[in-house]
């Protein structure tokens, strides 16, 4: 298989005041051509940080302390600004969480699409822009392209963000919670669109989300993150059918099920997301884990191959 991106032992730290917060610890992931990988976890587990570090886009309070990100045999983290600009938006596209604030409010839609095309030396004619708007299923592209972002709805703006991300025919698309800021019906439309584009453009996708429900029919691979680490990784359907890590199980049981009318409380995971600045010793999930054994609080489990997946647990 063609490996196009491999993340090797990446660690990222944030500095807040004098505290150093390890947001991502020793994460490795590999992505093959036409793979679609979902990274799932609670808020604050480091999944977005990981996504941003792939393009070296982290804010300046953070620092990548170790690891490599190999894309076509070159380490993205060691590239200079010019080479980085070629990859950003050219070879790797990114769609952000909040379409309402990710478009520049004072520039017309058409110009925002055009500048990406122009920067990466693609055809930037009006026809090309209209075609892109059609690709993301916006009706009346001739009219819409002359609008300013505030004249469009959230869903339409996210379609435009997607149009910009795929404009240069990137090899990899990073979607950082692309539907979180949208309401449910629009979410479904956007997901359908992303699914369709993956198929049509043969995209390799990294889909960052906290919502299990939406990944099953988009992603073939799944990595579950907890407190900056990967705790379970493997095929999406295998993991969802048969979760092994207690955290994955807890996350899956927290999804409300449609069709059961009997009134009941939602399942929740007891406890809180751990404070990254003062992590518990041993397994990071042990204070909240229902299947905790003595060893869990003492030793840190490693990510090991177990049957058809990678797992970080002593007592699965």
Partner 1 sequence: MLKLYLEKLLKNKLAKIGILIIVALILTAIFSPLISTHNPIEGNILERLQPPSKNHFLGTDEMGRDVFSRMVYGTRISISIGIIAVGISVIVGTFLGLISGYFGGKIDTVIMRFVDIMLCFPTFFLILMVIAFLEPNIYNVMIVIGLTSWTGLARLVRGETLSVKERDFIIAAKGLGLKKRRIIFVHILPNVIAPVIVASILGVGAAILTESGLSFLGLGVQPPTPSWGNILTSGKDYIHIAWWLSLFPGLAILVTVLSWNLLGEGLRDVFDPRIN
- For the bound state, the minimum distance from the C-beta of residue 109 to partner 1, rounded and expressed in Å, comes to 13
CA 5 to CA 237: how far, in whole Å? 22
Structure tokens at 200: 């049509």
- For the bound state, the minimum distance from the C-beta of residue 283 to partner 1, rounded and expressed in Å, comes to 34
106 near partner 1 (CB under 8 A): yes
Residue keyed to tokens 């807890």? 250
Nearest partner of 137 among 181, 75, 200, 183, judged by Cα: 200
86 near partner 1 (CB under 8 A): yes
Candidate residues 103, 152, 190, 194; the one interacting with partner 1 per rule CB under 8 A: 103
- What b/e readout covers 108-141, taking b as 16+ CB neighbours within 10 angstroms? ebbebbbebbeebeeebeeeebbebbebbebeeb
In this complex, which beta carbon is closest to partner 1, that of residue 94 or of residue 198? 94
Whether 11 and 65 have beta carbons less than 8 Å apart is answered as yes
Contact mark string toward partner 1, 157..186, x via CB under 8 A: ----x--xx---------------------
CA 169 to CA 202: how far, in whole Å? 10
90 near partner 1 (CB under 8 A): yes
Number of residues that bind partner 1 (CB under 8 A): 30
In this complex, which beta carbon is closest to partner 1, that of residue 79 or of residue 186? 79
256 near partner 1 (CB under 8 A): no
146 near partner 1 (CB under 8 A): no
In this complex, which beta carbon is closest to partner 1, that of residue 61 or of residue 183? 61
Which region among 12-20, 26-34, 51-59, 132-140 touches partner 1 (by CB under 8 A)?
51-59
15 near partner 1 (CB under 8 A): no
Nearest partner of 66 among 12, 5, 6, 28, judged by Cα: 12
Nearest partner of 301 among 279, 281, 287, judged by Cα: 281
Residues in 116-145 at the binding interface with partner 1, rule: CB under 8 A: 116, 119-120
CA 234 to CA 188: how far, in whole Å? 25
Where do contacts with partner 1 occur on this chain (CB under 8 A)? 55, 57, 59, 81, 84-90, 93-94, 96, 98, 101-107, 115-116, 119-120, 148, 161, 164-165
């Amino acid at each position: 298989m063609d490996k196009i991106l491999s993340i090797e032992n990446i660690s990222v730290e944030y500095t807040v005041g004098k505290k150093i917060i390890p947001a991502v610890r020793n994460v490795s992931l590999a992505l093959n051509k036409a793979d679609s990988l979902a990274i799932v976890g609670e808020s604050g587990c480091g999944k977005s940080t990981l996504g941003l570090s792939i393009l070296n886009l982290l804010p300046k309070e953070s620092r990548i302390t170790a690891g490599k990100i190999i894309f076509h045999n070159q380490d993205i983290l060691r590239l200079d600004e010019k080479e980085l600009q070629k990859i950003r938006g050219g070879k790797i596209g990114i769609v952000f969480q909040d379409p309402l604030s990710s478009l520049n409010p004072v520039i017309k839609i058409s110009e925002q699409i055009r500048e990406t095309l122009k920067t990466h030396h693609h055809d930037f004619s009006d026809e090309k822009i209209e075609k892109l708007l059609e690709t993301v299923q916006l009706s009346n592209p001739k009219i819409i392209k002359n609008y300013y972002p505030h004249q469009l709805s959230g869903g339409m703006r996210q379609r435009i963000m997607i149009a910009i991300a795929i404009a240069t025919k990137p090899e990899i698309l990073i979607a950082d919670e692309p539907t979180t800021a949208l309401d449910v019906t629009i979410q479904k439309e956007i997901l359908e669109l992303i699914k369709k584009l993956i198929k049509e453009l043969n995209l390799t996708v990294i889909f960052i989300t906290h919502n299990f429900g939406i990944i099953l029919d988009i992603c073939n691979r799944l990595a579950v993150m907890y407190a900056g680490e990967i705790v379970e990784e493997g095929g999406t359907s295998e993991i969802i059918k048969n979760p092994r890590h207690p955290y994955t199980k807890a996350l899956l049981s927290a999804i409300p099920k449609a069709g059961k009318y009997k009134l009941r409380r939602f399942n929740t995971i007891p406890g809180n997301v751990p404070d990254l600045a003062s992590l518990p010793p041993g397994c990071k999930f042990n204070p909240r884990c229902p299947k905790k054994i003595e060893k869990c609080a003492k030793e840190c489990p490693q990510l090991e191959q177990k049957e058809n997946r990678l797992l970080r647990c002593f007592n699965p």
